Structure 1
Amino acid sequence: MWWFQQGLSCLPVALVVWSAASFVFSYITAITLHHVDPLVPYISDTGTIPPERCLFGIMLNISAFLGMATMYVRYKQVYALNPERSKIIKLNKIGLTLGLMSCFGLCIIANFQKCILYYIHVLGACLTFGVGAVYMLVQTVLSHLMQPEVHSKDIFWIRLTVLLWCCSSIVSMFVSSVVLYSGLYGTNLVQKLHWDPQEKGYSAHIISTVSEWSLAFSFLSFFLTYIRDFQKISLRAVVSLHGQTLYNAPQSFVTDEQTLLVAGSI
């Protein structure tokens, strides 16, 4: 059995691979069609113009679904490992709520493009990355509370490192974006897809775009830390029937009716 076939480790693997592919494929398509500059465009800019916009949207929607599934499994795993620790249970529920909000934000990013509905797109980005960063914080705290009984300290330190990477990317992106869109370098920069290195504001633009890519891959790296944990869990659906038929009538009536039909056929 391959390592990604153990337990549900295929979920975080699929989430990371598919999400990375959605960024890369959209980027390659946009570059090939000369819709954006090759040197580190905004991720959102690579999904602004058709046909890459269609590819970007559908792939990110699937990523959101995979994200929700991964976060739900993580929630069930933490709960199963700590059924009587109220603090962990409460944090775990908060983490699931934050995670689902972050995935909803990803759907907004996928379906409301930057150049069409900018403020809705920004709202989606805030939900995805802002709330998502808080989700990472909650999961890191949970890892701290569960070590060393449930897992080693190494997992906690790895997740803490990725969290710090994420936070530094957020700060860098926020500061550079504020400087870029402050009005010092012109107006309507949101619609700008091509930049000249000699233009004013180009440095702030590059810092902002690099920070965005760094932020995105910090999220993917965080989910990579779930792979080993997910090798130790599996879920199954249990079917519970409320009756032996799908009729609305009481069971006794259905049984009598079937008896009459059988007797009549004889």
Structure 2
Amino acid sequence: MIFRYFYLFPVLFAATLPVTFFITYAIAVSDGDVYPWFPYISDVGTLPPESCVFGQLMNIAALLIMTVVFLRYEQLKTIWGTNNPKKNKVSFALGLLAGIGLSIVANFQVDNVNSVHLIGAALAFLVGGAYFHVQTYISWTLQGVAESTKKLHILRLVICVVYDIFAVIGIVTVIVGYIKLRPTVIRTRAWTPAEEGYAEHVTSTVMEWLGSFLICAYAATFAYEFKNLRLEYAFTTGRSNDSLQSTGNEEP
């Protein structure tokens, strides 16, 4: 038996994340749980009932992106064979950590366990960004991946550069916003134009939303290279000398 629809995993991830954000945003705004003008993504998923939807869909997204990371690792490992380099293993570890971070963000809401939530966010955004950078480097240096064109490599490089710019702007503006807000203490979901530092706060949230969409866009690029992946497997049952066998390869 042959399975050949691996390209659907990055596509599903790229679709699931925005759908999650927009659904939870609509619920949070309709219930009055957040100020509607560009709240943080975490803020639209911190209170029930939107937190229930947020947690469920984000966990699905985490599973999807970790599947993509595993498939990419195995694809490159098949190409390199016994010479599987350290950069592929490091990239695999970074990708799994990013997926775990996404799950942490889903399950530890910012209003409930803020410190753990921030750790998850750092893994998802910063370690996830590092994963995409390593993959971009691999794309430019590796030959023999079907459907891996120069245009695709350039697209990945552009996404990484823009993502870095957004990340720096977002980090700087959130720090400046909190400095201006002092000594007032409010929850970010209730931050309005009436408080100091609001302009910097909105700039930071916009960068977060745009950065998230870039993550989706980058993940979607793997769909092109997964179109030629095939998994051949066979099930056998019976006595103890029978076994479950699976093989994987990539057709050019």
2:15 corresponds to which letter in structure 1? Answer: V
2:222 is aligned to 226
| Correspondence 1:7 to 2:5 | yes
Does the aligned pair in 1 maintain the 2:145–2:225 contact within 8 Å?
no
| Correspondence 1:21 to 2:19 | yes
1:171 is aligned to 168
1:51 to 44, 49, 52: 49
Does the aligned pair in 1 maintain the 2:10–2:223 contact within 8 Å?
yes
Q: How does the TM-score come out when normalised to structure 2?
A: 0.87
Q: Supply the distance in 2 between the matched residues of 1:146 and 1:85 (Cα, whole angstroms).
A: 13
Bigger drift between 232-241 and 212-221 goes to 232-241
1:79 is aligned to 77
Select the structure that is richer in strand: 2
Q: Give the fraction of aligned pairs with identical amino acids, expressed as a percent.
A: 33
**Larger of the two Rg values belongs to structure:** 1
Change (3 A) 1:192 1:8: closer
Does the aligned pair in 1 maintain the 2:79–2:144 contact within 8 Å?
no
The two structures, once aligned, show a CA RMSD in angstroms of 2.2
2:203 to 185, 194, 207: 207
Q: Supply the distance in 2 between the matched residues of 1:240 and 1:188 (Cα, whole angstroms).
A: 63
* Deviation of the 1:194 alpha carbon: 2.5
Q: How does the TM-score come out when normalised to structure 1?
A: 0.83
1:253 is aligned to none
1:244 is aligned to 239
| Correspondence 1:120 to 2:116 | yes
| Correspondence 1:99 to 2:95 | yes
* Deviation of the 1:235 alpha carbon: 2.2
* Deviation of the 1:188 alpha carbon: 2.8
User: In the comparison of the two structures, how many residue pairs are matched?
Assistant: 238
Q: Supply the distance in 1 between the matched residues of 2:174 and 2:79 (Cα, whole angstroms).
A: 42
What are structure 1's unaligned runs of at least 5 residues?
Answer: 247-266
2:177 is aligned to 180
Higher RCO, Cα 8 Å, sep 6+? 2
